[in-house]
Amino acid sequence: MSNSLFFGKFAAVLPAGGLGKRMGGTIPKQLMKLGSKPVYQYCLETFLKMEEIAEVVIAVPADWKDYFEKEIDVWFSSDNTIGKFRTKLKIVIGGAERWQSVQNGVNALTSGAEYVLVHDVARPFISEKIIRDVFDTLVNKGSCLVAKPAIDTIKIASDGRVESTIDRNKVWLAQTPQAARIDLLKSLYARIEKEPLNFTPTDEASILEFFGEPVYIVKGESANDKLTTPEDFAVFASRIAQK
């Protein structure tokens, strides 16, 4: 159930700027059809429909912005249940790296929301329950990310040879959303502008960690796994067929 105390407190940034080279094909993977609609529209619809979310920004590849705009316009025009949320959505151009796409999205927020959730569109089946768990953690604890515990034994290896074994009880596999206060992220981006990082962050949590900010875990699930390879498409399509 939605929490009226949370209405309008959150925004969402959906990075969709990658070209999905591991997927192959002639269009970005987020635009490929999964069941009856493109990959990105699944999570976009989920976030748009949640009353706690005041605003959604999707960051897309520069060369595909017109394509996204036209496709979303047709979608909104043909489906009143989603079209009524048109004013909540903004489309911006992504950056060279994922974190820069998120930065562009965060900088485009104008709703006055206090917190932002960053979610990869290649994780189409994010649940409202997990999103609301993120809301609770954000408000009551602070910055957080969704992750699931490792179930396999984890090995460290070099040149094909095992060097050590990690205690899997301490290993969590990062997912999204990853979330923080909007003003906090903006302040960290400003610091990066003045003094660029000596590494390429792969997610928001790694930026927060680098600057010594605590990051809490919200337990994820396999349904929130990322669509990366052609084999994943078959698995994800079967999930839709079973619903």
User: Hey, where are the domains in the chain?
Assistant: 4-242
pLDDT in tens, 20-65: 554 445 678 899 999 889 999 999 999 999 999 999 999 999 999 9
Pick the CATH number of 4-242 from 3.10.270.10, 3.40.50.2020, 3.90.550.10, 3.40.190.10: 3.90.550.10
pLDDT in tens, 70-129: 999 999 999 999 999 999 999 999 999 999 999 999 999 999 999 999 999 999 999 999
pLDDT at 3: 75
β-bridge partners, 155: 165
pLDDT at 131: 98
Radius of gyration of the chain (CA): 18
The band of 177, judged by pLDDT with boundaries at 50, 70 and 90, is very high
pLDDT at 119: 98
Q: Kindly state the tokens that stand for 232.
A: 């994943």
Residue 89 neighbours by CB distance under 10 Å = 18
Task: Give the span between the Cα atoms of 30 and 98, in whole angstroms.
Answer: 14
